[in-house]
Amino acid sequence: MAAALVCALGAPAAPGTAYAAPGEPEPKADGSGGTASGAGRLEKVRSDVDRLYRQAESATDAYNLAREKQTRQEKSIVRIARAVVKAQEEMTGLRERAGALARAQYRRGGMPPEARLLLGDNPSGFLDGFTLARKGEKAARGLMNRLERTQTALDRYADSASQEWERLDRSRARKAAARAEITEKLARARRLESRLEGKERDRLRRLQEERDRASQNKWLKTGILRDVGGRSSSVGRRAIDFATAQIGKAYVWGAVGPDGYDCSGLTQRAWASAGRSIPRTSQEQWRLLPKVDTARMRPGDLVIYFKDASHVGMYVGDGAIVHAPRPGRQITLAGAGSMPILGVVRPDGS
């Protein structure tokens, strides 16, 4: 981890080592000079591969969000179904009582209780009978009102269930579309990489590392670390401990552990291990969590990258993050400034 941190912070190259600037000819593996067209081709591949992986990561966010919504909607439908069963059972009981009331009234000739009392041959019991009749009438009205309310509730449940099913269908469609896009982007990126010879793939990886290191050094030269300070909160420290313990595990799109993670799956699980529930996707983490100025970030904060908030890493201090980079890579430490920073959020909000 210490060696990885040194690399992540953009340590200067050893004396005598020179890195080719982007677009300049790179030496061939056999020591002979490369051509500008060869270096340009490799840079084009690097750019295309990076773009495809970023698009796949953005689609992964859409997939994760749709899957999360689908889970909530399925639970909502189950709750509605249970409420319907309960309401139907109540409706059955109410109808049985209403039927008994109607049968009793039929047996008495359908005459209203007040009329039977007035025509009765026992005027002395009129007041007692009248009170009982009023109670019976009130009970009957109450029964009818409950029947009406229960039927209204059933109708409402039916509408809610219909709406939830429509939302569920849309979530499933979005998830399927996102999955198809992810699969297509990853396949294209792998095809591009597979066309390179082994030595070219090594050069491609070095080229990306040099780009990341250059971006990190540029970020550090702004003097950002002179302003960035502060210590992590106790829950933030627990989140960091969890995230760094995952170093070396594979990036797996859509995964939240324990064997692999995507970028936001790692940050969500890390903060969950510290007792804080945060949104599933990097875009939702950016949208919903409290934002802090980059100059005020502290270990445990989440650094959100790119204009579409499609990537996230956890700041661990000294200008470094721990993150799940992309498919084919492992969870690692990297420079916090090695990618374009959109902003910083603080899950514990303190």
**Distance of alpha carbon 269 from the chain centroid:** 11
| CA pair distance 317, 14, nearest whole angstrom | 24
* Secondary structure letter of residue 296 according to DSSP: G
Beta bridge partners of 261: 251, 256
Q: Which of 46, 311, 326, 346 is catalytic?
A: 311
Q: Where are the alpha helices (DSSP H) in 108-197?
A: 113-118, 126-194
7 an active-site residue? no
Structural tokens at position 174: 């979005």
Catalytic site residue from 5, 59, 228, 263 = 263
What is the distance, to the nearest Å, from the Cα of residue 292 to the centroid of all Cα atoms in its chain?
21
> Measured between alpha carbons, how far is 42 from 55 in angstroms, rounded to an integer?
20
In 293-322, which positions are buried (b, 16+ CB within 10 angstroms) versus exposed (e)?
ebeebbbbbbbbbbebbbbbbbbbbebbbb
Q: Let me know if 263 is a catalytic residue.
A: yes
Whole-angstrom Cα Rg for the chain: 34
Instruction: Choose, from 46, 69, 249, 323, the residue flagged as catalytic.
Output: 323
Indicate the burial class of 7 (C-beta count within 10 angstroms; 0-12, 13-18, 19 or more).
Answer: middle
301 catalytic residue (yes or no): no
DSSP annotation of 295: G
What DSSP line would sit under 11-67, residue for residue?
Answer: PPPPTT--PPPTTSPPBPTTSSBPPHHHHHHHHHHHHHHHHHHHHHHHHHHHHHHHH
Which residues are marked as active site?
A: 263, 311, 323
